[in-house]
């Protein structure tokens, strides 16, 4: 999979890498303190930012806001809030963005959100934004200086009629004012490379940062991947076959895979990575060390 030569990696190290971390919000004070401790542990690696997700249908609105507040007080890393427009009017959605701004947040990951539980197709709130492009346009119109990230799908969004339609949606989101895209996780780097090539061929030249799932529990990730329609290659499935979740072997295999994936992308010229931490610091820290981000 990797044909990385030592010289190439030395050159990449010299150019330098950037990482950002994604966390999900904590619902309790103890949980927030644990996330703050994690953020302090990751701070010395100089991440670009930490983003805090927004629960499906806005279900975590308050805990996202409280987690952002706690992280902002704990570390000097820029904090970014995710925001979805499902199950809320335009005004309610923009109100959350206003609260973010009052907290000093100048970076939002703007998303549509998933269909409600039990439904396969998204239905917009009658007074709500119909999709992420509409939300991005409203954020850009209200805050011209806002940094806006958006989602992209190397394996095509599950509701999209075709790869071409999905690329057109990506183009529309850049046109609406997004600064960059963060991808859904993928386990075969060829999917990201092909997606990037298709986007470039279609004249989309904005940044598309790979989202890297740091696997904590392969069997949970496999279920989650099914929901998002992110494929698991047979060779990865085979690696974990018969390996107990709590075993040392499982831990070693997850670390080996994460490092392999990141190094292979580095060999292809990737210099920025968005890491889905699953709120666990160890693998995120290991990746930072591999990418030469450790500071004395």
**What is the pattern of x (binds ligand FAD, CB under 6 A) and - over residues 42-61?**
-----------xx-x-----
H helical segments located in the chain? 6-15, 29-42, 61-74, 90-102, 132-142, 163-176, 189-201, 218-228, 234-240, 248-267, 281-290
Q: Considering the complex, what minimum distance in angstroms separates the CB of residue 120 from ligand FAD?
A: 11
The answer to whether the Cα torsion of 64, 66, 67, 71 is positive or negative is positive
**Contact assessment for residue 81 and residue 105, using Cβ atoms and an 8 Å cutoff:** yes
Q: Which of residues 179-208 bind ligand FAD (CB under 6 A)?
A: 182, 184
Helix 61-74 / helix 29-42 crossing angle, nearest 10 deg: 40
Cα 184 to Cα 29, 220, 286: the distances in Å are 29, 16, 21
The residue whose two tokens read 């706690």 is 70
Q: Which of 63, 84, 189, 277 binds ligand FAD (CB under 6 A)?
A: 84
Listed ranges 96-104, 151-159, 197-205, 285-293: which one lies at the site for ligand FAD (CB under 6 A)? 151-159
Annotation says 119 is catalytic: no
Three-class secondary structure assignment of 165-190: HHHHHHHHHHHHCCCEEEECCCCCHH
Output 4 or 56, the one with its CB closest to ligand FAD: 56
Q: Considering the complex, what minimum distance in angstroms separates the CB of residue 183 from ligand FAD?
A: 6
**What is the pattern of x (binds ligand FAD, CB under 6 A) and - over residues 94-123?**
---------------x-xxxx---------
Listed ranges 10-18, 127-135, 139-147, 257-265: which one lies at the site for ligand FAD (CB under 6 A)? 127-135
Q: What angle do CA 264, 265, 270 make, to 5 degrees?
A: 145
Is position 151 an interface residue for ligand FAD (rule: CB under 6 A)? Answer: yes
- Residue 68 exposed, middle or buried by CB count within 10 Å (0-12, 13-18, 19+): buried
Q: Considering the complex, what minimum distance in angstroms separates the CB of residue 272 from ligand FAD?
A: 13
Q: Which of 32, 107, 157, 250 binds ligand FAD (CB under 6 A)?
A: 157
Output 211 or 281, the one with its CB closest to ligand FAD: 211
How far from chain centre, in Å, is Cα 285? 16
Q: Considering the complex, what minimum distance in angstroms separates the CB of residue 147 from ligand FAD?
A: 15
- CA-closest candidate to residue 91, choices 123, 127, 65, 58: 127
Q: Considering the complex, what minimum distance in angstroms separates the CB of residue 192 from ligand FAD?
A: 12
Q: Considering the complex, what minimum distance in angstroms separates the CB of residue 256 from ligand FAD?
A: 24
> Catalytic: which of 22, 66, 134, 285?
22
Token pair belonging to 220 = 């949970």
Which residues in this chain contact ligand FAD in the complex, by CB under 6 A? 53-54, 56, 82, 84, 109, 111-114, 131-133, 151, 157, 159-160, 165-166, 169, 173, 182, 184, 211
What is the set of active-site residues?
22
């Amino acid at each position: 999979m990797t044909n990385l030569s030592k010289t190439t990696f030395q050159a990449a190290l010299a150019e330098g890498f950037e990482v950002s971390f994604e966390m999900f919000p904590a619902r309790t004070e103890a949980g927030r303190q644990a996330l703050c401790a994690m953020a302090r542990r990751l701070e010395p690696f100089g991440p670009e930012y930490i983003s805090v997700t927004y629960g499906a249908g806005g279900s975590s609105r308050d805990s996202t806001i409280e987690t952002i507040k706690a992280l902002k007080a704990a570390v000097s890393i820029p904090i970014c809030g995710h925001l979805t427009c499902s199950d809320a009017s335009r005004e309610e959605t923009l109100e959350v963005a206003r609260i973010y701004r009052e907290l000093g947040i100048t970076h939002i990951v703007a998303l549509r959100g998933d269909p409600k539980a039990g439904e396969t197709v998204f239905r917009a709130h009658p007074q709500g934004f119909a999709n992420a492009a509409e939300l991005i346009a409203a954020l850009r119109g209200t805050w011209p200086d806002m940094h806006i990230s958006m989602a992209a799908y190397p394996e095509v969004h599950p509701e999209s009629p075709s790869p071409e339609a999905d690329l057109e949606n990506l183009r529309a989101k850049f046109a609406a004012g997004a600064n960059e895209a963060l991808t859904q996780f993928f386990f075969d780097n060829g999917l990201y490379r092909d997606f990037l090539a298709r986007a470039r061929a279609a004249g989309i030249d904005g940044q598309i940062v790979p989202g890297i799932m740091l696997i904590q529990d392969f069997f949970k990730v496999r279920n989650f991947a099914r929901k998002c329609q992110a494929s698991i290659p047979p060779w990865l499935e085979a690696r974990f076959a018969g390996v107990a979740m709590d075993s040392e072997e499982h831990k070693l295999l997850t670390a080996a895979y994460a490092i392999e994936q990141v190094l292979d992308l580095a060999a292809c010229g990737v210099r920025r990575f968005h890491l889905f931490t699953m709120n666990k610091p160890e693998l995120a820290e290991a990746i930072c060390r591999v990418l030469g981000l450790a500071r004395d």
